[in-house]
Amino acid sequence: MLVHLARQGGAPPAESEGSGDSALDELYTGPKAGQRAIHERLIAAINGFGSFETAPKKGYVSLRRKKQFAMLGPKTNTRFELGLNLKEEAVHPRMKPVPPGGMCQYIVSLEAPDQVDDRVIALVRRAYDAAD
């Protein structure tokens, strides 16, 4: 590794560059590619909340502060799921509670970027604030 870094003048190896984007490229391929716009719209809004970490998984992306507050990813070829960790009751027409024991308490189903409205962002903000 040291020799490799020395030969590149201290730059990281090429395969490590853009690793976050490559994980998203794997999630949003083929018929699911159109759902990446939903993901990007959510992330743009969440970036305004403050710091958090992203952890790409096989079928979704986990968003964490001290604990996980949201999961983002394609569920089917036409449906995107936003999972939220909210202990308190929350209501939204696209949101349904998840039975106890799951990774999130609520799932919001989205099919288009314009469905990421102020009410959805407010729910994500509540989950973000509760994860501190």
pTM equals 0.81
Mean pLDDT of 13-33: 71
| Cβ neighbours around 46 below 10 Å, total | 20
Instruction: Output the pLDDT for position 69.
Output: 97
Distance CA 93, CA 10 (A): 52
Decide if pLDDT at 3 tops 80: no
Alpha-helical runs (H) found in 48-132: 118-130
pLDDT digit string, tens, across residues 75-103 = 999 999 999 999 888 888 889 998 887 78
Instruction: Output the pLDDT for position 35.
Output: 96
| Cβ neighbours around 32 below 10 Å, total | 17
